[in-house]
Amino acid sequence: DVKVTQSSRYLVKRTGEKVFLECVQDMDHENMFWYRQDPGLGLRLIYFSYDVKMKEKGDIPEGYSVSREKKERFSLILESASTNQTSMYLCASSLVQVNTEAFFGQGTRLTVV
């Protein structure tokens, strides 16, 4: 069974803290993604990685950075958490192939207080 695992289901952090969200996939996928899900806004792409140490900004990268040191692991970093980063964060991975499918983790609900 394909699996994308996010390290935490729920996180509560304080404003100004550095926050790490971890994602691991066991499918040897080249592509990995971080999305943010907010009501009425859908899934917005934060960052995309197509290979180890390679990354591209998505639509809303401000306030975030990413790290991909190994193929199976993709980390999202909030350098200095702010209350407007309170959201559901979803990690996904996919193969580079025709009719590819993005497989999602269950999400991390982050609350910044």
Partner 1 sequence: QQQVKQSPQSLIVQKGGISIINCAYENTAFDYFPWYQQFPGKGPALLIAIRPDVSEKKEGRFTISFNKSAKQFSLHIMDSQPGDSATYFCAAAYNFNKFYFGSGTKLNVKP
What is the C-alpha separation between 41 and 5, in angstroms, rounded? Answer: 24
Phi, psi for 84 (deg, rounded to 5): -75, 0
**Does residue 43 touch partner 1 according to CB under 8 A?**
yes
Tell me the number of residues near partner 1 by CB under 8 A. 30
Instruction: Sort 30 into a burial class: Cβ within 10 Å, 0-12 / 13-18 / 19+.
Output: middle
Chosen residue from 24, 33, 64, 110 binding partner 1 by CB under 8 A? 33
The distance of closest approach from Cβ of residue 101 to partner 1 in the complex, given in angstroms and rounded to an integer, is 5
Chosen residue from 44, 72, 73, 86 binding partner 1 by CB under 8 A? 44
Going by the DSSP 8-state scheme, the letter that residue 110 receives in this structure is E
Amino acid in position 42: G
**Does residue 34 touch partner 1 according to CB under 8 A?**
no
Chain residues in the site for partner 1 (CB under 8 A): 4, 31, 33, 35, 40-45, 48, 50, 56, 58-59, 90, 92, 94-102, 104-107
